[in-house]
Chains A and B, each alone.
Chain A
Amino acid sequence: MTTNRREFLKIAGASALTLVTPSLLSPLWARETVRIPGQDFTPVKALMAKRWAMVIDASKCPPDCTDCITACHTVHNVPDFGNPKDEVKWIWTEPFAAVFPDENHPYREQGLQKMRLPVLCNHCENPPCVRVCPTKATFRRPDGIVMMDYHRCIGCRLCMAACPYGARSMNFRDPRPFITKINPDFPTRTKGVVEKCNFCAERLAQGKLPACVLACRQNAILFGDLNDSTSDIRKLIGKRFNLRRKAHLGTAPQIYYIL
């Protein structure tokens, strides 16, 4: 059968119509988002900042102290799988050589070489994890917190490869059975999502300081607004010599270490 011009145009027109039809009918099912009135309200008690940052005075850390780790992992339902391969961690300790590989040399003071420093997500100003995330599950808030939206995480682990600090952990198994006591105020994670420190964004919203800051009996961890020139941490890092982890990589980490 040969198609003449008239037949061809008819078929083409009918085909084009099938493309248009869904958009004509769509109002029936396309009303997906419910916009909610009064959503600009911000609770007064919430702690707000232009740039959250943390100062860790590691010289105050007693050896083998795990107060900050325990507090954080209890509050955030971090599972303990009991083997280093599956380990999930939000805050943990590393030896000096691992925290500051560029600052280390064999003739460093012995005390410094033996020291274990608390490390966590650096909430970078220029976070590589955010850049590589294909679903925007991880994103940077205007106040500087690098957040995870576990609802969107597809478990591709690109962020883990991108993070130069190893601050991200994957749930290779369902974490629920491995949490000793579930804190009902914070969700657990599910199998196949990546998790990390969130600078206690949920506690800041309730006007509470991060769990590690409150748990530290030595006051070695300080938390505050770096943008505010009168804040404690701003004064402290202006006064004392401090280091940031792998700052030469250009990630602009926001955890400042005093040694």
Chain B
Amino acid sequence: MKNKKWGMIALGLVIFLIGITFPFWYGRGKSIAPVLLSLDTPAIAQLKEKRCVEDTAFMRANHMKLLNAWRDEVVREGKREYTAKDGRRFEKSLTGTCIQCHSNKEQFCDRCHNYVGAKPTCFDCHVIPGEVKK
């Protein structure tokens, strides 16, 4: 009786371990090509210094936090101007600032969001000027 109980527990543990390590051995050896983000837009081509609001590493890691901070400051505090670390000033606006350069949402925003499985709801309301024709 006692042995049978331990057998069941061991079986359960084995199943649990297989389940929890599944992503590690299932994805082993497979490589997924990293996404290529396109910066090929007319507005970016015209820039002398290819620099986003902040530096690329910061933007890549923190753009969502920056946008959330912008959102709260604009809507709730009415503070609409952002001074970057290097002193340049920007309007805190997704459509008015970000999308003016990154006008290729499908090749830029969407590609990476799809790759990492992020589903931001920004564009449910905020408008991409090019998409208006739809």
Chain A positions near chain B (C-beta within 8 angstroms): 32-43, 46, 77, 139, 141, 147, 149-151, 181-190, 201, 205
Cα–Cα distance between A181 and B129 once the two chains are bound (Å): 11
With A41-B79, A147-B75 already in contact, the answer to whether A34 and B62 are too (CB < 8 A) is: yes
Contacts of B81 in A (CB 8 A): 38, 41-43
Extra 15 A-B pairs, beta carbons < 8 Å, given A36-B69, A39-B82: A33-B69, A34-B65, A37-B83, A38-B81, A39-B73, A41-B83, A147-B75, A151-B75, A185-B96, A186-B127, A187-B125, A187-B127, A188-B125, A190-B125, A201-B78
Q: Which residues of B contact A32 (CB under 8 A)?
A: 65
CB distance from A201 to the nearest CB of B (A): 7
Chain B residue with Cβ nearest A150: B125
**Known: A182-B132, A187-B126, A188-B125. Is A37-B85 also a contact (CB below 8 A)?**
yes
A145: nearest residue on chain B (CB-CB)?
B78
Q: Mark B55-94, 1 if CB is under 8 A from A, else 0.
A: 0000000100110010101011011111101000100000
19 CB contacts below 8 A, A to B, read: A32-B65, A34-B62, A35-B69, A36-B66, A36-B73, A39-B79, A39-B83, A42-B81, A43-B80, A46-B80, A139-B76, A149-B75, A150-B125, A151-B75, A182-B132, A184-B129, A185-B95, A187-B95, A188-B127
What is the number of contacts between chain A and chain B, taking CB atoms within 8 Å?
68
Question: Chain B nearest CB: distance from A216 CB in Å?
Answer: 26
Residue of A nearest to B126 (CB): A187
- Please measure, in the bound complex, the distance between the C-alpha atom of A216 and the C-alpha atom of B124, giving whole angstroms: 32
CA distance A39 to B89 in the complex (A): 10
B-side residues, CB < 8 A to A, are 62, 65-66, 69, 71, 73, 75-76, 78-83, 85, 89, 95-96, 121, 124-129, 132
Counting chain B CB atoms within 10 Å of each CB, the highest count among A39, A40, A201 belongs to A39
Query: Contacts A33-B65, A36-B69: A149 and B83 contacting too (C-beta < 8 A)?
Result: no
Task: Looking at the assembled complex, report how far the CB atom of A10 sits from the nearest CB atom of chain B, in whole angstroms.
Answer: 23
How near does chain B come to A196, taking the closest CB pair, in angstroms? 14
How far is B1's CA from A35's CA once the two chains are assembled, in angstroms? 62
Give the contacting residue for B125; candidates A33, A37, A189, A205; CB below 8 A.
A189
A183–B95 Cα distance when bound, in Å, is 11
Contacts of A40 in B (CB 8 A): 79
Chain B nearest Cβ from A36, distance in angstroms:
6
Q: A41 contacts B127, CB within 8 Å?
A: no
Bound-state Cα–Cα, A34 to B83, Å: 13
On chain A, the residues within 8 Å of B79 by CB distance are 39-42
Look across to chain B and name the residue whose beta carbon is closest to the beta carbon of A182: B132
Evaluate whether A38 and B76 lie within 8 angstroms (CB atoms) in the complex, with A184-B129, A187-B126, A189-B125 already known.
no
Identify the closest chain B residue to A34 (Cβ). B65
In the docked arrangement, what's the CA distance between A37 and B129, Å?
29
Given A32-B65, A151-B75, A184-B95: A190 and B82 within 8 A (CB)? Answer: no
Contacts of B126 in A (CB 8 A): 187
